[in-house]
Chains A and B, each alone.
Chain A
């Protein structure tokens, strides 16, 4: 699950990382009031940033500077409601514009190949890390946290020196450790600060000081960790999720909508992808990826059916279940129940093999559902049914 910049910054702050103050505004009025507070606090300019979960918001015009409160209001009213890659901006972040001396990149990420937490840093901040990796891979510093002890102090020091942050060693070490701490505290699989920046600030005595701070933050959370962080669930951005996706998630299903006409209901991610691949190979277009998960019972099957049929383009359904931990008869029962209450009639091809397949076959036969033996046969039948339905429409 992705969360917005302002929420990511709150999680960093909770671990003691240096994040300059910000406010979130939902209206241009609120943005103006926020800007007034920052100007009163001595800011020369404020930055107004669209809060959307897509990259490239700066290029899309979603990040702008304002020199006085009226201008902040004007900019906020332009950004709020703006469409960035199909997502409407509903919130903006307002903060004092930083006087940046130098920008860096720092992130902590789950490295699946190594099975460890990987800390990455680069002195080329403000640029996407993929770009640095492609153009100047030597500029990226990497260190793996110890799998049992976490990131050790000496590792953090080596990392900070290698990034060229020797002049800000204490702060850099604290931030590196803070990224790993933020990951662990929230079950995040990515915590990214880009840019991490040395900024010039004037302290209370009027002296200019340089300080290392987190100017932007991006965090993605491990979905498997969310059940033990109910507070983080409230950070889910409703715009990041279509209604069908939400219903699927709440029912314990994994659903990804595609553009085709053949609804797919499958158990297991690999088999679900394979089912889509074979529908395509048979000349059809899958309408979705849908994994009902392991051990699905009748109610989850019924929810899956509702979600598939909610897509008006779906004109045929292919159910492919290979029972292991999932029992075929449970799925068959769910299909028959869902069939009895479904609002529109769509041809359905059912293939159930594996655990309790014989019991499932008897139930399906009794209910007169169209069945198939092999996956290739099921895909071919589903494509034919979809073509027929398409021609009739």
Chain B
């Protein structure tokens, strides 16, 4: 997606060059902090059935918009549903979709990048022209338009994000392929008579994909944000399935009298985003410097 191109920083990672790789990862404070935070959030959401006393869609119309209490740690929403339970179950949905929705653009974009970079010629020209056009649209605008065209729902989210998000991967992979082509090993493989597919898969891909993987890590943040935003706009996951964005949208009207409704999912999103950003940054420093 045409999202913030983050200049990868090789930050002040305190590392000892002599230690084995596993220990090095543990010393990367950014990465570690992010992983821990994410583990906590994911763990909480995964254990939703154990941690939530109520079902997320269990209405209790006698106790709408209630404040925090023993029965409802975060209070209830406008239909009397337990906010804590909805928060956890919504987290499952958002995290799952977010992670899954990064895969398709990654695969599609990388493939196109490989083809464009390796083949060159008209394949490259066509792909880059299409890329130029897709890039011209602001990310959210195009995603919204696609979801509009296909109708709201999870499938549409997937298709929309894929259709718009492949762009960055293609750019990155194509760039790496072009660099790799100048190095000797591709020509050596060609001279040895290896077929295109074999070259692509066995030789080119492993070397070229690392940058794309680094990018994918930071892409997850923005994918989850996109899912949440679409939910907020009512274009994403449809009710009654709980979803953080939709919860925030519902809570918007009660901001002055019952802010918890919108704030709780908001905090959840911010923390998740922070965790993923830390991981993305830490990984970028790790893999970029390696």
| Chains A and B belong together in one complex | no
**Residues of chain A whose beta carbon lies under 8 Å from any beta carbon of chain B:** none
